[in-house]
Chain A
Amino acid sequence: MSFEIPFGPQHPALEEPINFMLEIEEERVVSVKPRLGYVHRGIEKIAESRNYQQLVYLSERICGICSFAHALCYSQTVEELLDLEVPERAKFIRTIIAEMERIQNHYLWLGLTAKEMGFETLFMYAWRDRERIIEMLDMISGKRVNYGMSTIGGVRRDITDSMVERIEESLKHLETRAEYYTKVCTKDPSILKRTVGVGILRPREARALCAVGPTARASGIARDIRADEPYAAYGEISFRVVTYRGCDVASRMYVRIDEIKESIRIIRYALKNMPEGPIRVKAPIKVPEGEAISRVEAPRGENLHFLKSNGSIKPERWKIRPPTLANLLSLCRMLIGVNLADVPVVIAGIDPCIACAERIALVDVKTKKREVWDGKDLWRYANEWYRKRYGL
């Protein structure tokens, strides 16, 4: 007897609305049909009526958790269009904030995956430890999310010496906690039973389906933009790209906890070797014509921004390819053959950020024609589809 269970858009396991129609036979998933579009906000359309400086703040608000990665990627794209060289100190500060955001994201992820498994205590502990890093970000930038630190031409605030001491204290505490979570996640029998062997993604499939971020690194593929195409100050800092070969949710967990430790090391090095100098250069308002792409390793994977400018103060086209959109195909492949009880765990395993992933573009495969729909077209299409399907 096969059920069709809708997973989402309203579900206690999901923070953001996304719909998967799962076909279940005897508690195993047989097929998956994802549906996006519940949280589409029209960001790429708004971009056509704002100037470049204002869009930095819009790019931060694409996602609440990986907000700095989007702002950084956008700033880098505009700087490439302007051919602007950012001062060294600004690059180091950008690196520090990006790594702090990575730590914050991975602690949040650990808590959420524990909650999906029913382990409330680990959830509370991970989020309690996350408060330490958020306090540091608050102290540096004045806000707990959407920091407003990156701007075209550098960063807006400096890291003073008194801040460095407090950051070092927090990092020490966070490192101890990360060691503790490694111990818990490798020894606790209930976590091991729920995550080992669940949600397998073979390396061949990961390569074919373009998995990015920790999802790919847990299948043994060493893909990391920070090492492949260094941006900001990553070219001068040596760090290890963490990979595991387990291909399951447990490996993704270990990859992320090890990345926390690597990030702490990177921040320490950057704080010690930060050069003196200005933190910002003035950027012109008008951007010359051209196209540019920039890639950044967001905490969830590879983030890509594309900007096309036509010489005025407002961009012509802004395209964002967030990491969750790239991992969605791998997710659908991973979910087949999984127990219904493990579906939230597997979905949480790729660290989904649906707010990032809402980008619609329609490509007609036969004629290779691209068209972009607005609200009226979607409404008309939806009405016709329902009328045809239900014979109304």
Chain B
Amino acid sequence: MVSEEIWALIEIFVFPGFFFLFFLAFFTEWLDRKIVAKFQNRYGPLYVGPKGILQPIADFIKLLSKEDITPSMADKIPFSLMPILLLTLAITPLFCIPMIGSDALISFEGDLIVIMFIMSLIALLVFISGWASTNRFSSIGSIRAGLQMFAYEIPMNLAMIGPAISAGSLSVSTIVDWQIRGVWNIFIQPIGFAVLTICLMAHLQKVPFDIPEAESEIVSGWIVEFSGKKLALIRLAKDFEFVLASSLIVSLFLGGPYGPWYISPITYLAKFLLCVLMLSNLRAAFARYRIDHLLAGAWKYLTPLVLLQICLIKVLGV
């Protein structure tokens, strides 16, 4: 029927498709900045729009209008391609997360594996973009990004597999369904929840793990040579990754868009906001760790903990 196709187009482009996701990304950045500012006893964005809510959009538009400089020694094709790829790869997994109802826009058996693969690919693209810039600081930043990937990749993937083993399926929508019929995963797999949160902070490169782009040491690390439109796209990609991380936590551990209220997008947004609040709190409360601390800590504590969690799932039979 014609109206079905129009309905599908609306779903893809407006809600919960592109338009909604762009709005959510900007809103999440504003919320993160405001929460961190509140913790630090200051205002955060204030003037652009009511309470500064349009500040991220203003930043984005300002960056689009700035001069775009490519260093003469940089590898031109990867250098120009990486920001676009980062943005595309950051948006794609969001279509697999259910936001209204228990079925996402795209759901098939194995989409959890695709999400994990795309997240690893993003880490690889960070490495390539730093390397292609051929700048001392960005080379160090990209080496650190690669090392960081070694640290958090395995615990993160294992922590995401935990709910999949319980639900018996590799599709995010099925996992959400399983949680609704039973109990939320956070109550039966708390260790996995904690490990996933820590590893997602490392994936998002937020303090205490913002080592590849440590501002006070290597002047923005792998981002240092990007300017103008490329920088705007990279920052937008980071916002989308934040949305993706919070959405993953909500879907895999907090029961997705179902809960005490019957209107599902509002439940989803409420849980999403809770996740953003938690991640921003962690960001404001720590100093930055060194790369060897992260590597040692991840292999000594995170990986054994998550393996213990998986054994517990099998043993307790949940």
**B-binding residues in A (CB < 8 A):** 3, 5, 11-13, 27, 114-122, 124-125, 128, 188, 190-191, 193-194, 339-344
Interface residues of B in 85-113 (CB under 8 A from A): none
A190-B289, A194-B287 given as contacts; is B41 within 8 A of A124 (CB)?
A: yes
Q: Do the beta carbons of B40 and A193 come within 8 Å of each other?
A: no
Q: Do the beta carbons of A115 and B39 come within 8 Å of each other?
A: no
A340-B140, A344-B217 given as contacts; is B42 within 8 A of A118 (CB)?
A: no
**A-binding residues in B (CB < 8 A):** 36, 39-42, 136-137, 140, 207-208, 210-211, 214-219, 284-293
Q: Can you report 25 A-B residue pairs in the complex whose CB atoms are below 8 A from each other?
A: A3-B140, A5-B136, A12-B216, A13-B216, A13-B217, A114-B287, A117-B287, A117-B288, A118-B207, A118-B208, A118-B210, A118-B214, A118-B287, A120-B36, A124-B40, A125-B40, A190-B288, A191-B287, A193-B293, A194-B288, A340-B140, A340-B218, A341-B214, A342-B290, A344-B217
Least Cβ–Cβ distance between A187 and chain B, in angstroms? 13
Q: Do the beta carbons of A119 and B40 come within 8 Å of each other?
A: no
**Which of B42, B214, B219 has the largest count of A CB atoms less than 10 A from its CB?**
B214
Question: Of all chain A residues, which has the CB nearest B219?
Answer: A12
Q: Do the beta carbons of B41 and A118 come within 8 Å of each other?
A: no
Which residues of chain A have C-beta atoms less than 8 A from B293's C-beta?
A: 193
CA distance A11 to B41 in the complex (A): 27
Contact of B40 among A3, A121, A341 (CB under 8 A): A121
Contact of A188 among B41, B216, B287, B292 (CB under 8 A): B287
Q: Do the beta carbons of A116 and B216 come within 8 Å of each other?
A: yes
A118-B208, A124-B40, A125-B40 given as contacts; is B286 within 8 A of A344 (CB)?
A: no
**9 interchain residue pairs of minimum CB distance:** A118-B288, A119-B287, A190-B287, A124-B40, A117-B287, A13-B216, A190-B286, A341-B290, A121-B284
- Known A120-B36, A194-B288; 4 more pairs at CB < 8 Å: A3-B140, A119-B286, A188-B287, A190-B289
Which residues of chain B have C-beta atoms less than 8 A from A118's C-beta?
A: 207-208, 210, 214-216, 287-288
Question: Of all chain B residues, which has the CB nearest A117?
Answer: B287
Which residues of chain B have C-beta atoms less than 8 A from A188's C-beta?
A: 287
Least Cβ–Cβ distance between B185 and chain A, in angstroms? 28
CA distance A119 to B286 in the complex (A): 6
CA distance A120 to B39 in the complex (A): 10
Least Cβ–Cβ distance between B114 and chain A, in angstroms? 33
